[in-house]
């Protein structure tokens, strides 16, 4: 949202009031409070008829500093996000004539006394970012002000109108030379956000637009810090655009609150951010296997479903989850939680038969209830649906005719919705796809009196939490999993999220990856996407390239819109040398299941520390300037580098940072830093193991949920030195075995703390079977 006309002037109709000086600074317990008049006070008369801003500094958690700016502090404060990890921090305050500081951990905020306004954030004697002249502004607008006061797509019937406000507060933080910004939710444009205007406003815009299903007003930079703007409502970011030297963020109203979060590494920024806003839950091992869907508008019944499942088994394609999309319910009834009796006359029997095939079952829902559904009247009469200001139920026809929206601010409505879900779980459903949650109206009244503007983005958190909580209640902690589309701050606590409606093309495959990388920078630990693209029917080449990418993601789902996604539909299976869609799917499914001991531990790390499963190169190699703009490759956990192939011909260019890398599929080694240009057949992909890695792989490749401590293979890669311990989990009962790997001279020794069989080898060498809990590799 832009308020200025160039560097010097405000736009017509905009009255700008800026914090001009720190007139006085007071320490109030653990809060540093500054009075910032909007004119430099030179004489006594200047204090009259003058607006002043109150700026408060405090710390909700070590290494994080809160900045709150208020024009009128008598207004009711906004709710902010749920800061589940906030705890009293040891804030150290000093006040001198020259200015004051508030320090939390290694991060210090320094406010200079007097004019000009100067607030800086420092660590280890270095300024990370600062808020200087014209950085804190109260912008009053008249009705003719030519500024962008709402994000694209808000006005009109599709998103039911966010009215422009009459005043905004903005903050600005400087960008240093070469400083790059990442994050701000799942965004499908350039990974580096410099030069972009970004509106934090959830929308159902697909992956080919600037809109996003998962808007997160949090960014981090390559200078060792992150910023969370603590407003669930619409936040507008100008990332080096209105002021090319600064990131500007603005919100409507009389208060603005943001947090500066210190690292110094990007991983440490995310560790602190997710400690404050919530860590991803632990997900079950079975969820990492391949998911197959009915697709959306295709025709299906139990016979169709069985033909898909049996066809996968006949072709030795391991399947872990089968998903029923919307039409498991009767048309016009979504969501009424009732299996369409015309198509599924025996749902309990069918689900039992699927379980007998060692499958888990996922079912689609959304938070809307169509008018035709019998439970619409039940919800309407009980007051469980969102209402218009006149007391009528809010309804529209964009999706299901006359549908209403469940009001999750009403505890009784939430409990009612959860009871409907419990019946599904009793029937045999194991996981829920929580679709939608973005098209939330603003011309409504909420049960608890919440602001409609706040609820537009916040609704998804209430929706997904309601479902995830009852899933955990039913299945137990660590065995609950969603497949969610919409999210905001805190949504990472309810995994997994998928990338939304993409298209069946290489371009959409690339934008999908950019979205996943951007979401990883926003604190989300797990992420998936529709393999082959949702819209359209991918040709065989697109499908096969996407299969390799999809099965080297945290979660892997075959799903489409109007066409099925079983692999044998894409070619006739006669391709030589294992290049058919069936062969390629088998190859990469087996590969993922073989990697499960490693991948499961990566997921546990995401749960423990907030470090994402899929890691942008900038997260792992933040000191290497060659990775700053890379958005077509990533690390899967700490040790596997993946570079998806975005062409039929198999041409791919990618970068290996410093160190000795080993190709996991071929055993080839390469010394980085190096740029490579390869050509890959469909059954291949650049997959490299990092120098010094110890990789534990499994003894099975037919399912994801098995005892990983049963005869695993420990591979030690070039560059390993010293001593390291690796935990190998048994996801079936929660036990684990600890392996200790020690390098002494030319010998590497692997020992186990339990009577467990394991095998070990150096990369490219022979496999040694351990005896007496020990293996020596020479």
- Peptide bond connecting 181 to the previous residue in cis, omega within 30 degrees of 0: no
| Closest CA relative to residue 229, chosen from 281, 183, 265 | 183
By the 8 A CB rule, do 270 and 610 touch? yes
Could you give phi then psi for residue 686, rounded to 5 degrees? Answer: -60, 115
User: 3-state class of 132 per DSSP?
Assistant: coil
By the 8 A CB rule, do 316 and 578 touch? no
Would you give the DSSP letter of residue 203? -
| Closest CA relative to residue 198, chosen from 241, 157, 228, 146 | 241
What is the CA angle 308-312-315, rounded to 5? 135
Length of the chain: 778
Q: Which residues pair with 662 in a beta bridge?
A: 669, 689
Rg from Cα positions in the chain: 27
**HSE (side-chain half, CA atoms, 13 Å) at 94:** 11
Cα(41)–Cα(37) distance, rounded to whole angstroms?
8
**Which residue is listed with tokens 């693209």?**
533
Cα→Cα distances 650→292, 571, 654, 679, 684, Å: 26, 18, 13, 5, 9
Q: Which residues pair with 28 in a beta bridge?
A: 31
What are the E-state strand segments in 651-703? 651-663, 669-679, 687-689, 694-697
Cα(224)–Cα(243) distance, rounded to whole angstroms?
21
**Which residue is listed with tokens 């489409």?**
560
- Peptide bond connecting 465 to the previous residue in cis, omega within 30 degrees of 0: no
- The catalytic residue among 242, 438, 530, 620 is 438
With both helix axes pointing from N to C terminus, report the angle between 411-427 and 347-356 in degrees, rounded to the nearest 10.
60
Measured over the CA atoms of residue 406, residue 277, residue 221 and residue 507, the dihedral's sign is negative
Cα(511)–Cα(189) distance, rounded to whole angstroms?
7
| Closest CA relative to residue 223, chosen from 342, 122, 90, 94 | 122
- Residues 640, 641, 646, 652, Cα dihedral to 10°: -130
- The catalytic residue among 238, 271, 501, 691 is 501
316 exposed, middle or buried (CB, 10 Å; 0-12, 13-18, 19+)?
exposed
- Residue 314 designated active-site: no
* H or E element that contains 374: helix 374-382
- Residue 501 designated active-site: yes
For the beta carbon of residue 562, count every other beta carbon within 10 angstroms. Answer: 12
Q: Which two tokens stand for residue 90?
A: 């040891």
The strands making up 694-697's β-sheet, listed across from edge to edge, are 694-697, 713-716, 759-762, 768-769
By the 8 A CB rule, do 655 and 630 touch? yes
Helices (H), 85-215: none
Measured over the CA atoms of residue 534, residue 535, residue 537 and residue 543, the dihedral's sign is negative
- The catalytic residue among 199, 336, 435, 683 is 435
3-state secondary structure 453-485: HHHHHHHHHHHHHHHHHHHHHHHCCCCCCEEEC
Q: Which residues pair with 749 in a beta bridge?
A: 742, 776
Cα(247)–Cα(171) distance, rounded to whole angstroms?
8
- Residue 257 designated active-site: no
Cα(651)–Cα(685) distance, rounded to whole angstroms?
10
The strands making up 235-239's β-sheet, listed across from edge to edge, are 14-18, 136-141, 167-174, 246-252, 235-239, 196-200
Q: Which two tokens stand for residue 307?
A: 């033909």
Q: Which two tokens stand for residue 71?
A: 């024009």
Catalytic residue list? 435, 438, 501
């Amino acid at each position: 949202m832009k308020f200025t006309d160039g560097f010097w002037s405000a736009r017509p109709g905009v009255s700008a009031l800026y914090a001009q000086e720190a007139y006085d600074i007071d320490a109030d317990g653990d809060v540093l409070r500054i009075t910032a008049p909007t004119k430099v006070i030179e004489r006594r008369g200047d204090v009259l008829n003058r607006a002043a801003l109150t700026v408060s500094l405090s710390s909700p958690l070590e290494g994080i500093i809160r900045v709150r700016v208020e024009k009128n502090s008598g207004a009711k404060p906004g709710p902010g996000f749920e800061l589940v990890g906030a705890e009293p921090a040891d804030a150290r305050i000093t006040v001198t004539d020259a200015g004051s500081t508030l320090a939390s951990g290694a991060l210090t905020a320094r406010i200079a006394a007097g004019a000009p306004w100067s607030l800086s954030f420092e660590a280890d004697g270095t300024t990370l970012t600062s808020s200087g002249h014209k950085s804190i502004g109260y912008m009053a607008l008249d009705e003719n002000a030519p500024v962008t006061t709402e994000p694209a797509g808000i006005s009109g019937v599709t998103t039911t109108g966010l009215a422009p406000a009459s005043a905004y507060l903005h903050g600005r933080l400087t960008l240093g030379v070469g400083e790059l910004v990442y994050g701000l939710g799942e965004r499908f444009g350039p990974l580096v956000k410099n030069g972009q205007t970004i509106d934090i406003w959830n929308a159902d815009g697909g992956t080919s637009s600037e809109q996003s299903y998962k808007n997160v007003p949090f960014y981090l930079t390559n200078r060792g810090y992150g910023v969370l703007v603590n407003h669930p409502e619409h936040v507008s970011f100008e990332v080096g655009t209105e002021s090319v030297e600064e990131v500007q963020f603005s919100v409507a109203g009389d208060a603005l609150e943001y947090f500066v979060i210190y690292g110094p590494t990007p991983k440490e920024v995310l560790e602190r951010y997710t400690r404050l806003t919530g860590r991803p839950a632990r997900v079950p091992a079975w969820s990492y296997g391949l998911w197959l869907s009915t697709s959306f508008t295709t025709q299906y019944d139990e016979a169709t479903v069985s033909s898909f499942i049996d066809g996968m088994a006949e072709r030795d394609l391991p399947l872990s989850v089968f998903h029923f999309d919307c039409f498991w319910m009767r048309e016009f009834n979504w969501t009424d939680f009732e299996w369409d009796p015309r198509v599924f006359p025996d749902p309990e029997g069918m689900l039992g038969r699927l379980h007998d095939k060692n499958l888990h079952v996922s079912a689609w829902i959304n938070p809307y209830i169509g008018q035709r559904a019998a439970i619409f009247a039940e919800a309407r009469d009980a007051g469980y649906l969102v209402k218009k200001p006149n007391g009528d139920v809010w309804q529209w026809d964009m999706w299901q005719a006359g549908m209403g929206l469940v009001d999750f601010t009403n505890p009784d409505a939430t409990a009612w919705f959860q009871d409907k879900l419990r019946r599904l779980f009793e029937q045999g459903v194991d996981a829920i796809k929580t679709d939608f949650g973005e098209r939330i109206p603003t011309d409504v009244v909420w049960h608890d009196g919440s602001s409609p503007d706040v609820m537009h983005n916040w609704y998804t958190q209430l929706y997904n939490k309601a479902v995830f909580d009852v899933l955990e209640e039913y299945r137990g902690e660590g065995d609950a999993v969603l497949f969610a589309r919409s999210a905001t701050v805190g949504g990472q606590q309810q995994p997994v999220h998928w990338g939304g409606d993409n298209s069946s093309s290489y371009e959409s495959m690339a934008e999908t990856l950019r979205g996943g990388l951007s979401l990883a920078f926003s604190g989300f630990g797990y992420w998936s996407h529709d393999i082959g693209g949702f819209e359209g029917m991918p040709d065989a080449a697109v499908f096969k390239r996407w299969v390799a990418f999809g099965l080297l993601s945290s979660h892997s789902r075959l799903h489409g819109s109007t066409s099925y996604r079983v692999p044998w539909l894409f070619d006739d299976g006669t391709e030589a040398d294992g290049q058919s869609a069936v062969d390629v799917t088998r190859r990469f499914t087996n590969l993922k299941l073989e990697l499960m001991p490693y991948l499961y531990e990566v997921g546990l790390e995401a749960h423990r520390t907030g470090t994402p499963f899929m890691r942008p190169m900038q997260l792992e190699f933040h000191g290497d300037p060659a990775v700053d703009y890379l958005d077509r490759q990533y690390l899967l956990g700490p040790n596997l580098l993946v570079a998806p192939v975005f062409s039929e011909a198999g041409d791919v260019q990618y970068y290996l940072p410093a160190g000795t890398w080993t190709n996991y599929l071929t055993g080839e080694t390469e010394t980085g830093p190096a740029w490579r240009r390869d050509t890959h057949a469909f059954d291949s992909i650049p997959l490299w193991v990092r120098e010094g890695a110890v990789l534990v792989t499994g003894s099975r490749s037919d399912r994801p949920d098995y005892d990983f401590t049963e005869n695993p293979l420990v591979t030690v890669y070039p560059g390993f030195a010293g001593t390291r311990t690796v935990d190998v989990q048994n996801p079936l009962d929660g036990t684990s075995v600890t392996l200790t790997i020690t390098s002494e001279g030319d010998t590497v020794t692997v020992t186990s703390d339990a009577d467990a069989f394991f095998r070990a080898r150096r990369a490219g060498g022979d496999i040694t079977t351990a005896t007496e809990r020990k293996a020596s590799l020479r």
